[in-house]
C-alpha cells in the first residue's frame, strides 16, 4: 500500500500539472469506486492538492473536493501533449493509457487527462463538500503524522505526542507505528526501516521503550521518510508517481524485503517474522 512518502510524491507531482485546470468530463467505468455526483465537479477548477496521512485531497474552486484513497494498488497518472513521451512503468497495466486498470478518467481542459488506475479495485474517489471532508471517517480518525515539506493538512506528529502514544502502548511497537488512528501515514515498509535505524526490536511492547529509545525512534521515522522522498517513494508493489514512473526507495531499503541478506550494520542475517499479519524484517543482533 502506498504510504506517506508515496502519496506526498504524487501530491507534489500532480501540483505541477493539475492546479489551474478545469474538469471537463469524468468517465467512470467501475461505479463503486466513484462516490458522489459528477455534476458537482464538472466545470470546476483544481486550485490545490493536499495530503492527510495516506489520503490525497484535490480542492476545487466551487467548495467541493475530490478525496482519494489509493488503498493497495491505486495510481493517479497525468498525461498531456508535454508528458506523453514519458515512458510508463509496466505497473500501470500497459505501454499506453488508458490501460485495463484505468477505471476512472478525468478529462481536463488544455488537453490534460488524469487516469485513476487500480489493479485490485479497492481504492476510491469521493466528491465531498469542502467543509464536510473531515466528517469522512478515514480523514477524521487519522492520527497525527510526521510533517514533511512546508505544509501539513493533517495533525502534526510532535515528540510529546509520540512519547505519550508509545509509553501507553501494550502492543508491539511496530504495530503501534502502523496504527493509522494513532500515527498517520506510516505503513509496513517504513516501520521496518525506522525500527532498524533506531536499533529497536519490532516485537517489543511500546511501554518498554525508554525515553531515549523513543526519541531515537521518532528521529528515525523522519529520517526514513525523508530518505524515501529523496528516492521518489517505493515501488516495491504497484506505486508509480504522477507521470507513471517508479520510485527507487526499494533499492535503498535498510531491512525491508531483505530476508536472508546481510545486515548493513553487523553482517548477520536479516530475519523475517509476522506481526499483525504483516511481514516484519529485522536484525536479531542490532535490534534490541
pLDDT tens figures, 177-233: 999 999 999 999 999 999 999 999 999 999 999 999 999 999 999 999 999 999 999
Going by DSSP bridges, is the β-strand pair 34-35/271-275 parallel, antiparallel, or unpaired?
A: unpaired
Q: Are residues 8 and 135 in the same domain?
A: yes
Active-site annotation holds for 126 = no
Active-site annotation holds for 15 = no
Going by DSSP bridges, is the β-strand pair 278-282/271-275 parallel, antiparallel, or unpaired?
A: antiparallel
Q: How confident is the model at residue 282 (pLDDT cuts 50, 70, 90)?
A: very high
Give the full edge-to-edge strand order of the sheet including 102-108. 23-28, 102-108, 113-118, 74-79
The answer to whether the CB of 194 falls within 8 A of the CB of 217 is yes
Instruction: Tell me which DSSP letter residue 145 carries.
Output: B
CATH value at residue 89 = 3.20.190.10
Instruction: Tell me which DSSP letter residue 86 carries.
Output: S
Residue written as grid cell 512546508: 150
User: DSSP states of 10-64 as a string?
Assistant: HHHHHHHHHTT-BEEEEEESSGGGEES-GGGTTTPBEEEEEEETTEEEEEETTSE
Q: How confident is the model at residue 120 (pLDDT cuts 50, 70, 90)?
A: very high
Q: Taking the complete model, does pTM exceed 0.85, yes or no?
A: yes
pLDDT at residue 37 above 80?
Answer: yes
Residue 287 is assigned to a structural domain of this protein: no
In sequence order, which residues have a C-beta less than 8 Å from that of residue 34 and are 6 or more positions away? 26, 28, 104, 124, 125, 126, 127
% residues pLDDT > 90 (the chain): 97
Mean pLDDT along residues 3-27: 97
% residues pLDDT > 70 (the chain): 100
Question: Is 251 strand, coil or helix?
Answer: helix
Strands (E), 138-179: none
Active-site annotation holds for 3 = yes
Residue 288 is assigned to a structural domain of this protein: no
Question: What is the domain extent for residue 90?
Answer: 4-140
Determine the pLDDT at residue 283.
98
Residue 149 is assigned to a structural domain of this protein: no
Helix (H) or strand (E) segment spanning residue 75: strand 74-79
Q: State the cell numbers at 124.
A: 476510491
Question: Is 209 strand, coil or helix?
Answer: coil
pLDDT at residue 154 above 90?
Answer: no
What is the CB neighbour count within 10 angstroms for residue 75? Answer: 27
Q: Are residues 165 and 61 in the same domain?
A: no
Residue 38 is assigned to a structural domain of this protein: yes
Catalytic-labelled residue, pool 15, 38, 205, 278: 278
Please state the separation of Cα 120 from the chain's center in Å.
17
pLDDT at residue 118 above 80?
Answer: yes
Residue 254 is assigned to a structural domain of this protein: yes
Q: Are residues 27 and 134 in the same domain?
A: yes
Q: Are residues 115 and 188 in the same domain?
A: no
Q: Are residues 53 and 84 in the same domain?
A: yes
CA 153 – CA 60 distance, rounded (Å): 16
* Residue where a domain stops, chosen among 140, 174, 189: 140
pLDDT at residue 149 above 90?
Answer: no
Count up the domains in the chain and report the number.
2
Question: Is 17 strand, coil or helix?
Answer: helix
Residue 148 is assigned to a structural domain of this protein: no
Catalytic-labelled residue, pool 51, 54, 79, 182: 54
- Which residues make beta-bridge pairs with 34? 125
pLDDT at residue 150 above 80?
Answer: no
Residue 181 is assigned to a structural domain of this protein: yes
Determine the pLDDT at residue 196.
98
Mean pLDDT along residues 12-29: 98
Q: State the cell numbers at 184.
A: 498517520
Query: What mean pLDDT is reported for the chain?
Result: 97
CA 236 – CA 104 distance, rounded (Å): 24
Catalytic-labelled residue, pool 2, 5, 146, 202: 2
Active-site annotation holds for 278 = yes
Amino acid at each position: 500500500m502506498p504510504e506517506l512518502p508515496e502519496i506526498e510524491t504524487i501530491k507534489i507531482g500532480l501540483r505541477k500539472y493539475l492546479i489551474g485546470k478545469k474538469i471537463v468530463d469524468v468517465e467512470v467505468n467501475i461505479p463503486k469506486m466513484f462516490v458522489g455526483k459528477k455534476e458537482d465537479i464538472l466545470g470546476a477548477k483544481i486550485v490545490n492538492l493536499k495530503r492527510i496521512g495516506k489520503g490525497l485531497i484535490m480542492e476545487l474552486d466551487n467548495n467541493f473536493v475530490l478525496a482519494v484513497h489509493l488503498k493497495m494498488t491505486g495510481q493517479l497518472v497525468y498525461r498531456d501533449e508535454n508528458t506523453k513521451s514519458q515512458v510508463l512503468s509496466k505497473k500501470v497495466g500497459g505501454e499506453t493509457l488508458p490501460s485495463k486498470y484505468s477505471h476512472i478518467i478525468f478529462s481536463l481542459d488544455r488537453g490534460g487527462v488524469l487516469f485513476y488506475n487500480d489493479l485490485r479495485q479497492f481504492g476510491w474517489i469521493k466528491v465531498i463538500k469542502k467543509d464536510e471532508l473531515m466528517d469522512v471517517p478515514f480523514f477524521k480518525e487519522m492520527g497525527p503524522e510526521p510533517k514533511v515539506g512546508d505544509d501539513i493538512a493533517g495533525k502534526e506528529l510532535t515528540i510529546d505526542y509520540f512519547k505519550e502514544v508509545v509509553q501507553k502502548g501494550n502492543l508491539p511497537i511496530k504495530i503501534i507505528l502502523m496504527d493509522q488512528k494513532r500515527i498517520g501515514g506510516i505503513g509496513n515498509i517504513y516501520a521496518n526501516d525506522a525500527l532498524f535505524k533506531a536499533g529497536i526490536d519490532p516485537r517489543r511492547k511500546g511501554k518498554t521503550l525508554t525515553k531515549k529509545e523513543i526519541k531515537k525512534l521518532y528521529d528515525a521515522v523522519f529520517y526514513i521518510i525523508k530518505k524515501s522522498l529523496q528516492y521518489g517513494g517505493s515501488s516495491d508493489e504497484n506505486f508509480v508517481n504522477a507521470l507513471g514512473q517508479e520510485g527507487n526507495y526499494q533499492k535503498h531499503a535498510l531491512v525491508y524485503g531483505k530476508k536472508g541478506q546481510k545486515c548493513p550494520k553487523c553482517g548477520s542475517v536479516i530475519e523475517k517474522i509476522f506481526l499483525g499479519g504483516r511481514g516484519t524484517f529485522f536484525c536479531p543482533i542490532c535490534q534490541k
